Structure 1
Amino acid sequence: MSEEVEKGKNSNIDLLLGDSHVAIRKLAWPMMVSMFLIMAYNLADSIWVAGLGSEPLAAIGFITPLFMIVVGLGNGIGAGANSLIARCIGARDKEKADNAGLHSILITVIVSILFSIILCILLPFILQIMGAGSATQQALQYGYIVFIFLVVFIFSSVATSLLRSEGDVNRAMYVMAATAILNIVLDPIFIYIFHLGVAGAAIATVISSFLSCAILIYWIWIKRDTYLDLGKSHFHYETSILKDILIVAVPSTAENLIFSILGIIENYLLVIVAGTVAVATYTAGMRLVQMAMIPLMGLGTALLTVAGAAYGGHDSEKLEDAFRYTLKIGTLISIIMIILLYVFAPQVSLIFSYSSASAGLSAKIIVMLRILCVFIVGVNFGMMSAMVFQGVGKGFTSLVLTTIRALLMEVLFSYIFGVVMGMGEIGIYYGVVCGVCLGAVISYIWAELYIKKLKKVYPPQNVEPLTE
């Protein structure tokens, strides 16, 4: 292997084990770009489909929570692998790090096959429960195509997580850039030129994901210039490694499942109080809010990696410092995003209301954005707290906090404001804001108490030096 490649590998590891502020900044910005590209990748479908009218857009909205389960599977397995590998790097155990990466690939293949079969069989029934109604057939067209090729989405997510776990965030960004650009280009071709409608959007999405998989396979198994060596000779099945990955992966996947269930419930409540047009509005508006949350997602993923390495090295002070520093940056970014969304709501709403068929959504999206933008600051505290627990391998705690924040608080307040108090879709938006903010306070307090307890176990003066 060339000296230049070896130097690149070591610089990534040195970054993880060095100053936490520098690591957070250098890891976060490529992750932010990657998250933006992932969101643009998903957003492209909705933007182009919006030109077909509110019903096709609603069809995408009904599939979106289910697709987030797919994303959640990949993110969950990736988070489990990221957490364990980062801890192994912190403990200077490369052999176990390699083996952990291979175990995560094995899990990916098995899970992809199982869930592809399950979702394709149950999709009509699920859409019926969700109240898709007249949008069902178009939702099926989109959903079947996406779920048959489930493996490309999950593998892409897991493989990029492996790159991030070793500090190689730039190439994770590059592969997402190629995928997002291809999807944006292919969407209008398949939707309008080939006249395939929502099915065309699904086909473009699948083809784009195949590209990302091809690039990742080349880097990992053909060029073989990653820090992790995922050759089959490094695979030795160990139940303990599988358990270490799953102890974060299962709760993390469950968290994404919770967000998908939350989306399904919110859609159902919106159908009750305002019909499918409200679902189209929520689908469009929430994707715009999620775009504004991208910097927080990047910071959170960086925190997970740095926290894992700090925990593996028994450095509780570094873990606390990384958590506090990330929260400060996240709060500043949240305030900026809230201001931008509130002020420019009329302009950004045009993304989903550019055609005559969807022009009526603009006013509704503006109202929604100016209410929902506030919850970004709550997401900051809730997300960073959860990432600390995922980083140290306590996935169940992260799951509990997400359950409280999303399923308990958001659903409860949405139901009270929107249905019980008769405030309609506006009440549901206020409910989401109140729920996430209250849940964030609980999450933050829980994280602070855990770090205080951890400092007693690994006090700063007893930190073990990291030696080769």
Structure 2
Amino acid sequence: MSQKVTKGVQMLLGEPKRAVIKLSLPMMVGMLVQSLYNLVDGIWVAGLGSNALVAIGLFFPIFMGLIALASGLGVGASSAISRRIGAQNKKGADNVADHAVITGLFLGVLLSVLLFPVIETIFVEMGATQEIVELAVKYSRILILGASVIVFNNVANGILRGEGDTKRSMYAMVLGSGLNIILDPIFIYTLGLGVVGAAYATLLSMIITSGFLIFWLFFKRDTYVDITLKDFDPNREIFIDILRVGLPSALAQLAMSFAMFFINTIIIRIGSSDAVAIFTSAWRIIMLGTVPLLGMATATTAIVGASYGAKDIEKLEIAYLYAIKLGFLVELLVTMFIFIFASPITYLFTYSEGAEQLANGLVRALRILALFLPFVPFGMLTGAMFRGIGQGEKSLIVTTLRTIIMQVGFAYIFAFYSDIGLSGVWIGVALGNMIAALVSFTWGKMTIIRLKEKFSIF
């Protein structure tokens, strides 16, 4: 077999602890920049007034569903490619990349065709005013037409991560987010396009990023995989392999959105609009604290996949446990930071006269919710391990257990069956995450034991 050797592949097949660190760091940087973009984008749009924010808010759940499908397909491709690299099956990895790109383009076109004609009806049925509906339709249709670009970006990044090239994946993420931050004020204010300008800025930044990804994958050709679409030969088993990880990954992201909806409903029933503002503000900070783990999870999936493909379960276990140990230490530091600096952090959200009444409640929420962060690696990285071995359905179960069953369940119990009021919701969310994480980790350890037995490691 002619085996192409790249730095990424060498990393995947090399010492697992070093691979975890080297492959995680670029993804952490890329995801931190993406998080910064999401914050800045909201600030620019906020300058247009409440109608603009509502218009974008109406499309947000649909857009997140689109992103979930796209990123899920990218994760499926990453897992399938890394497993074939571990098995030293270069032709198989190339074939997976071909299938992922074709599937992504088909999915993008399908989403555009299905959503474009009905998006206005969806907004009207949601009960928005005519003025807001018009703004939302103009904004959303631009991004819906660019669905193929959005999906391709996620698939191409998944291919790069699957072969251990997290640096170029980071470059693409930073480029897209950085361009968006720069283009937003130009399109929104300088060109006077308003909320529509925000959509154009997003789409243009993605198109430019796609140009770099296309150059790397199709023209420069210094990647491990060789994508030759002209020789594409549909293979049902490869489609199933990609989707077995990709579809559950997409559904897991949607499960997190559903969980937030249910928790907001609980808060509204026992609290007020101020309570919702406290939770959403606190949750933004808490989720920002998990960004390093998201980077580690993508790296863990690729490393575990390569180890599984090579049938090296001992190496797989070392990478998995080391990632969890590293993630635990990082999140412990994040928890300490939030706990100590909760008051200064709170001021960022409560400095105005109209929001100062939220301060004490927000400090309390931050300090309680932050307590579950050190437990997050045990669940999140177990899910990443399951995706790496191609068992995406187990990753979905882990996420559903954590978000909808435990998180929402305990929040409901403490909210309505205790006398501690709103703090009971925060305690329930924290406790649910802790228990789910430990259950997931136990399942992960048992899975590795079974893999050792299967491949006769003992």
Normalized against structure 2, the TM-score is what?
0.88
- C-alpha spacing 1:224/1:417, structure 2 compared with 1 (3 Å): same
- Rounded to whole Å, the distance in 1 between the matches of 2:278 and 2:131 is 15
Give 2:40's aligned residue.
44
- C-alpha spacing 1:276/1:187, structure 2 compared with 1 (3 Å): farther
What runs of 5+ residues in structure 1 fail to find an aligned partner?
1-5, 462-468
- Rounded to whole Å, the distance in 2 between the matches of 1:136 and 1:422 is 41
Give 2:80's aligned residue.
84
Give 1:170's aligned residue.
167
Give 1:314's aligned residue.
311
1:94 correspondence with 2:90: yes
Counterpart of 1:212 (choices 186, 209, 214) is 209
* Deviation of 1:258 (Å): 1.1
- Rounded to whole Å, the distance in 2 between the matches of 1:121 and 1:287 is 33
* Deviation of 1:275 (Å): 5.6
SS in 1 for 2:409: helix
Counterpart of 1:223 (choices 220, 224, 230) is 220
2:72 touches 2:248 (CA, 8 Å); kept in 1? yes
What runs of 5+ residues in structure 2 fail to find an aligned partner?
none
1:12 correspondence with 2:3: no
1:296 correspondence with 2:297: no
Deviations 1:380-417 (CA, angstroms, capped at 9, x unpaired): 11101111111000111111121111111122223333
Give 2:101's aligned residue.
105
1:372 touches 1:432 (CA, 8 Å); kept in 2? yes
1:316 touches 1:459 (CA, 8 Å); kept in 2? no
Please say which of residues 312-321 and 53-62 is displaced more in the overlay.
53-62
1:405 touches 1:439 (CA, 8 Å); kept in 2? yes
- C-alpha spacing 1:128/1:422, structure 2 compared with 1 (3 Å): farther
1:372 touches 1:429 (CA, 8 Å); kept in 2? yes
SS in 1 for 2:245: helix
Give 1:370's aligned residue.
367
2:235 corresponds to which letter in structure 1? E
* Deviation of 1:14 (Å): 1.4
- Rounded to whole Å, the distance in 2 between the matches of 1:425 and 1:148 is 42
Spell out the pairing of 1:428-443 with structure 2 (5 A cutoff).
428-443=425-440
Deviations 1:156-182 (CA, angstroms, capped at 9, x unpaired): 111111111111111111111111111
1:30 correspondence with 2:30: no
- Rounded to whole Å, the distance in 2 between the matches of 1:302 and 1:249 is 16
- C-alpha spacing 1:432/1:206, structure 2 compared with 1 (3 Å): farther
Please say which of residues 67-76 and 77-86 is displaced more in the overlay.
67-76
- Rounded to whole Å, the distance in 2 between the matches of 1:449 and 1:412 is 25
Normalized against structure 1, the TM-score is what?
0.86
- Rounded to whole Å, the distance in 1 between the matches of 2:172 and 2:161 is 12
2:51 touches 2:132 (CA, 8 Å); kept in 1? no
* Deviation of 1:458 (Å): 1.6
Counterpart of 2:181 (choices 177, 180, 184) is 184
Spell out the pairing of 1:241-320 with structure 2 (5 A cutoff).
241-274=238-271, 279=276, 281-320=278-317
Give 1:466's aligned residue.
none
- C-alpha spacing 1:66/1:227, structure 2 compared with 1 (3 Å): same
- Rounded to whole Å, the distance in 2 between the matches of 1:245 and 1:174 is 24
1:58 touches 1:283 (CA, 8 Å); kept in 2? no
Query: How many residues are treated as equivalent by the alignment?
Result: 456
1:235 correspondence with 2:254: no
Tell me the percent identity.
Answer: 38
- C-alpha spacing 1:416/1:358, structure 2 compared with 1 (3 Å): same
Give 1:75's aligned residue.
71
SS in 2 for 1:176: helix
- Rounded to whole Å, the distance in 1 between the matches of 2:196 and 2:352 is 20
- Rounded to whole Å, the distance in 2 between the matches of 1:149 and 1:426 is 43
Spell out the pairing of 1:314-393 with structure 2 (5 A cutoff).
314-349=311-346, 365-393=362-390
Give 1:465's aligned residue.
none
- Rounded to whole Å, the distance in 2 between the matches of 1:167 and 1:215 is 18
Give 2:110's aligned residue.
114
* Deviation of 1:42 (Å): 2.3
- C-alpha spacing 1:282/1:295, structure 2 compared with 1 (3 Å): same
- Rounded to whole Å, the distance in 2 between the matches of 1:132 and 1:452 is 54
- Rounded to whole Å, the distance in 1 between the matches of 2:75 and 2:122 is 27
- C-alpha spacing 1:323/1:405, structure 2 compared with 1 (3 Å): same
1:44 touches 1:187 (CA, 8 Å); kept in 2? no
* Deviation of 1:107 (Å): 1.4
- C-alpha spacing 1:403/1:293, structure 2 compared with 1 (3 Å): same
* Deviation of 1:84 (Å): 0.8
1:46 touches 1:60 (CA, 8 Å); kept in 2? no
- Rounded to whole Å, the distance in 1 between the matches of 2:281 and 2:414 is 21
- C-alpha spacing 1:10/1:435, structure 2 compared with 1 (3 Å): same
